[in-house]
Amino acid sequence: MRILFITANRIGDAVLSNGVLQAMLDQYPGAKVTVAVGQASASLYEAVPGLEEIIVIKKQKYHAHWLKLWTRCVKKRWDVVVDMRGTGISYFLWTGRRLVNSAKDDKVHRIVELSKVLNSVEPPSPVVWTDETHNQKAAELVPEGSKVLAVGPAANWSGKQWPVEKFIGLIDALTGAEGVLPGARLMVLAAPHEREQIKSVLSSLPSEKVIDLIGHDLVTAAACLRRCDLFVGNDSGLMHLAAAAGVKTLGLFGPSPEWRYHPWGADCACIRTPESYREIVSHPNYDYSHGVESYMKSLAVETVVSAAQELCNRGQNNETEI
C-alpha cells in the first residue's frame, strides 16, 4: 500500500492538513507514505509513520515545479493519492483512489474545509508526528522542573503581530508571583530571521529561565511544546503547531478571521482586538503589505492575561467543558 500526500508550503496550512494524512494512516495501517511539500514545511514530516520519501517542492517559473513532481511520481503505482492543494496532478498518475481538495468555503474553519476531501462527518484534528530522537532532544532542551510558558511573538506579516512590548507585559503578568504560572520558565519560538525583531522578549526574564528555540526544526519544536503548560502566540504556523502538539494554546487575532483560523482543539482558545476582522480590513487606511504597523495595538495586555488565566484553569476541579 502506497500513499502520495501532496500538501502545502506554509507551515500553518500544512499542520491543518495533517489530520487528513493521519486519517489515511488509520485507514491503511502499515502503508508506505511519500509526502510532497514545500520547503518551509518539509521537516514536519520527518517522523511520519511508514515514511518512504519527502519530495520538496521548489517553486519554479511557469508552474514547472508541478511537471517536475509529476516526473518524480508517474513511474510509481499509487494506491491512494491525496492532493490537498487541488493541483489536478493526481489525474495524471496511476492510482487506485484519488482524493483532491477542491472545497472553497471561507465561512468555515480551514480544517472543516480541508476535511471535505474525506467526506467525513467529524473533521480530523491536526497532528504532528515525533520520534524518540525528537523526544529525547526535547527532554534535553526542556528538562523537568518549573512550569513553562511558551510564546510565539513573531508573525509572517507585521500587521498581525501583537507588539513585542505587550508580549513582555503578558510574560511578566503570567509568570509573576500573582500570575497563573508563577515562576515559570519562558520558551520563545520563531524563525531564524525573526530573532532581531523579538530579541527583547528573550531578555524579559533571567537567562537561566529562558529556553531559546528560535530557529529549531519544527518537529523538535513540537516535542518541546508538549512539555509546556501554555502557548500564547500570534495567528501563525507556530500557533497551529502548538495546538497540534496538544499544549493549551491561546491565539491572538486582529487582521485575520478567527472563525477561519483559530487554534483547533478542546484545549485551545483565541482572543481578538476590540475591532472585528471586517472592521479592520475595510478601513480606508488598511494596507496589506510588509512593513506596516501592527493592527493589534488595541488588544490590551489585561485582556490577554484574563484569557490565558481562563484557559489555564479550564478543566481544573474535574470540570467538564460542554
CA dihedral 63, 67, 72, 78 (to 10 degrees): 100
End-to-end C-alpha distance for the chain, whole angstroms:
39
Asked, colleague to colleague, whether 2-118 and 132-318 share their fold, the answer is yes
CA dihedral 208, 134, 58, 156 (to 10 degrees): -40
d(CA 96, CA 300): 53
Q: Which CATH number fits domain 132-318: 3.90.950.10, 3.30.160.60, 1.10.3720.10, 3.40.50.2000?
A: 3.40.50.2000
Q: Where are the beta strands (DSSP E) in the chain?
A: 2-6, 32-38, 51-57, 78-83, 95-100, 148-152, 185-188, 210-212, 230-234, 249-253, 268-272
C-alpha cell read off for 18: 495533517
- Could you state, in order of their start, the residue ranges of all structural domains in the chain? 2-118, 132-318
Strand partners, 230: 149
Q: Was domain 2-118 assigned CATH 3.90.1570.10?
A: no
Digitized pLDDT (tens) for each residue of the chain, 322 residues in all: 999 999 999 999 999 999 999 999 999 999 999 999 999 999 999 999 999 999 999 988 878 999 999 999 999 999 999 999 999 899 999 999 999 998 889 999 999 999 999 988 799 999 999 999 999 999 999 999 999 999 999 998 999 999 999 999 999 999 999 999 999 999 999 999 999 999 999 999 999 999 999 999 999 999 999 999 999 999 999 999 999 999 999 999 999 999 999 999 999 999 999 999 999 999 998 998 877 899 999 999 999 999 999 999 987 754 434 3
d(CA 120, CA 115): 7
Decide: helix, strand or coil at residue 271.
strand
Whole-prediction pTM value?
A: 0.95
The contacts of residue 152 (CB under 8 Å, 6+ apart) are: 189, 190, 231, 232, 233, 234, 236, 238, 239, 242
